[in-house]
Amino acid sequence: MCEKLPAYWRGLLASSHLYLYADSSMEDTAFHIGEAAQRLGVTPKHLRLLEREGRIPPPRRDFNGRIYTEFDLALLRGMGVGQRPHKLKRAADVLRGS
């Protein structure tokens, strides 16, 4: 299952307890940036800005743009995207459960 994930996620999951709970159904459904943003309660422009600033990990891409999986959305929610926090958590901290 881990081989299907983007390299960035594999590195974060290597030492994470979340790998135990991730299943293939979290990878099956993919969303383009518009639908992902809607599910997170933000605009696509906001997601692009966070990515450009390095505040969120870059998503996978296909010929039509950015692709987010259920796992990606769960991680972004855990980081605080869409909740208007003063400071977003780091992806590594969310995956470690800190």
Q: What pLDDT was estimated at residue 16?
A: 47
- Residue ranges per structural domain of the chain: 2-96
* Rounded Cα distance, 78 and 87, in Å: 12
- What pTM was computed for the model? 0.67
Question: Under DSSP, is residue 75 helix (H, G, I), strand (E, B) or coil?
Answer: helix
Per-run averaged pLDDT (10 residues), the chain, 98 residues: 56 50 61 95 94 91 90 92 81 82
Phi-psi region of 63 (alpha: psi -120 to 50; beta: other; left: phi over 0): alpha
Shortest CA distance to 78 belongs to which of 5, 9, 6, 2? Answer: 9
Q: What pLDDT was estimated at residue 76?
A: 93
Q: What is the CATH number of domain 2-96?
A: 1.10.1660.10
